[in-house]
Structure 1
């Protein structure tokens, strides 16, 4: 990846590479599957595991296990992952929502997994809240498997647990489980990306898609020793904001954050996961993530690096958001006005304070030396804007975005983005 693309990937919740503009999906010629050096086994599943924490770990270890060789889309490992997920969805009682009465929607390479939980209210069951998580990863590079435990076996495991709960007690609106394939490069933000392909060729009427909750990178920490919150981004895209009223969990603090703070890059706005196509079509969008850990897109992204108590706590958070959206009396509606709030400054201040090691926190090594003075000034400014208790002005909002980008850039390892380059943002 080039240095410029590494800069773009340095965001808290970055999932992939550079955006090439809003992706429209014209017909695409089929491409032969990529070779896999490790043959995948016959598909298995964790559907029989009734203990939820054990099931979460089982799904991560299955999907990110060595036998699936990184789940590159179109590979035997990707096929085995897809088969395992479908087996789980069938066992949980979900209905097929793919093509020709199946759970699959074929892609030029690989396939999406689509399943439906019918809503209990006949008047609203034709409207669908999409619960999305991509299941593919990078596969093998130079003979080294990139297992993709956090990216994104963690998101799939949480989505499956939420789907199981919802199927047992359906909300008013229907829920569409979308296990998207082909989210990673080279398909990222192209017409062949699984979510873009689905939105161009939906398996149910597009006007029935009323909101999306997208999960990506759910079990890691931004730096070692830091208990990274679960960031729920995108509430500002809803005309009536979803407010589940969740209390903090000691296993997993929850923080609302404006999408601009992670997507307003110097060259233009870029969404970092499968919510991108929904956002571009003005479908209200939530993006949920604990952020980009040091293991992101590395061979070290293995099941033993995840915090499974955080994953278990995340299930309740995600379920609550999906239920709020699916039970709203009125259809969720897009908000064209999406201002930043003082609360966004407060979230940034909390992150900077932790990174600087305030209050006994284990700070990030990336916030020492040359970066420390700039980070301390950014922290003071974020605290001042949070204390103002009013919406930031347009200039102040741009200032907050720059503070956020500097912090995110500093969290990238020095071999990806030198500290001096981050301080120029």
Structure 2
């Protein structure tokens, strides 16, 4: 981000009396009261079981690798950045995600508007999951993979910011390759976000698909570090017609969804703080999922060891459920947006 499962309870009874009753109960109780789901072997509450199952081990493995010292903070144009790209591409390829054009890599140059630093070898990694019913309408799913690199010999690993969002992007890629969406999903792992939202701005100015076919943007940036079960969903101040869809899709989540940080009266206005900003500037509705700033933000202590794994897994499952709900209702969302523009 740029600056400005608890177990189900099984009913158990010790029964005395006739052996036949005991046998019957031993057979029937597990069938009646067992409640398990596929979350990498971890039990869940019934509420969480209503959210999509994901591979917990893979998700945590992705964020741990992307924020490891081996990638040295994923600064644009460095070996660490290249390793991050290769990891994302390998996961896309294994899942059967398609390219847009000849390659997942889309290279560009960028100049940081704040200090005129040039990045001649920036790379967006773009994948496509075609829609089964209306493939010409798209949801752009974004997460930046770059971070701050090294300063004064210290690595800024960027676990929460934003290896977490990329892990969520990869989990969404797996879910929707196994459960194909009705509309097409553009999976955008973006570069130079920390240097002025460069990857998103370049994509909007040079879209890989016609911009007028992108109905909305869902952005993930900093979704792993919270210990109060609070997840922010920003964007409904600008696009209030989206809020009912988000509320419906998050009703099963144990997280508290905070609709804020997207207007001048909020504690902070994140409207242009991450990669959703250029989409919003182009008139494309967005929802941005993130957490509130914390002590590790933009410091060398933003490491894998300091995230909250349980929160992270639940946040990703919640966001994937939102994305699925948005896909199911995208025609209505597009109509509501068009109606709002006419008012």
Q: TM-score of the superposition, structure 2-length normalised? A: 0.75
User: Does 2:255 match 1:247?
Assistant: no
Alpha-carbon contact 1:215-1:289 (below 8 Å) kept? yes
The Cα offsets for residues 76-111 of structure 1, whole Å up to 9 and x where unpaired, read as 1001100100100111111012xx411011022320
User: Does 2:95 match 1:85?
Assistant: no
- Runs of 4+ with deviation above 6 angstroms: 262-265, 335-338
Separation of aligned partners in 1, 2:164 and 2:265: 20
Deviation at 1:172, TM superposition (A): 1.1
Separation of aligned partners in 2, 1:63 and 1:262: 35
Between Structure 1 and Structure 2, the one with more strand by share is: 2
Determine the structure 2 residue equivalent to 1:16.
2
Distance 1:336 1:300, change over 3 A: farther
Separation of aligned partners in 1, 2:130 and 2:340: 32
Alpha-carbon contact 1:136-1:183 (below 8 Å) kept? yes
User: Does 2:163 match 1:153?
Assistant: yes
Determine the structure 2 residue equivalent to 1:177.
187
Separation of aligned partners in 1, 2:338 and 2:160: 31
Alpha-carbon contact 2:130-2:185 (below 8 Å) kept? yes
Q: Is there any run of 5+ residues in structure 2 with no aligned partner, and where?
A: 5-52, 110-120
Q: Root-mean-square deviation (CA), in Å?
A: 2.4
User: Does 2:288 match 1:287?
Assistant: yes
Deviation at 1:318, TM superposition (A): 1.1
Q: 2:196 aligns with which of 188, 191, 206?
A: 188
The Cα offsets for residues 373-412 of structure 1, whole Å up to 9 and x where unpaired, read as xxxxxxxxxxxxxxxxxxxxxxxxxxxxxxxxxxxxxxxx
Alpha-carbon contact 1:237-1:334 (below 8 Å) kept? no
Q: Is there any run of 5+ residues in structure 1 with no aligned partner, and where?
A: 1-14, 19-49, 339-425
Separation of aligned partners in 2, 1:248 and 1:327: 17
Determine the structure 2 residue equivalent to 1:128.
138
**Larger C-alpha radius of gyration, 1 or 2?**
2
Alpha-carbon contact 2:54-2:175 (below 8 Å) kept? no
Distance 1:240 1:88, change over 3 A: same
Determine the structure 1 residue equivalent to 2:172.
162
For residue 250 of structure 2, give the secondary structure of its aligned residue in structure 1. Answer: coil
Deviation at 1:52, TM superposition (A): 1.0
Separation of aligned partners in 1, 2:79 and 2:97: 25
For residue 235 of structure 1, give the secondary structure of its aligned residue in structure 2. Answer: coil
How many residue pairs are counted as aligned between the two chains? 277
Distance 1:254 1:152, change over 3 A: same
List aligned pairs for 1:358-369, cutoff 5 A: none
Determine the structure 2 residue equivalent to 1:63.
66
Determine the structure 1 residue equivalent to 2:8.
none
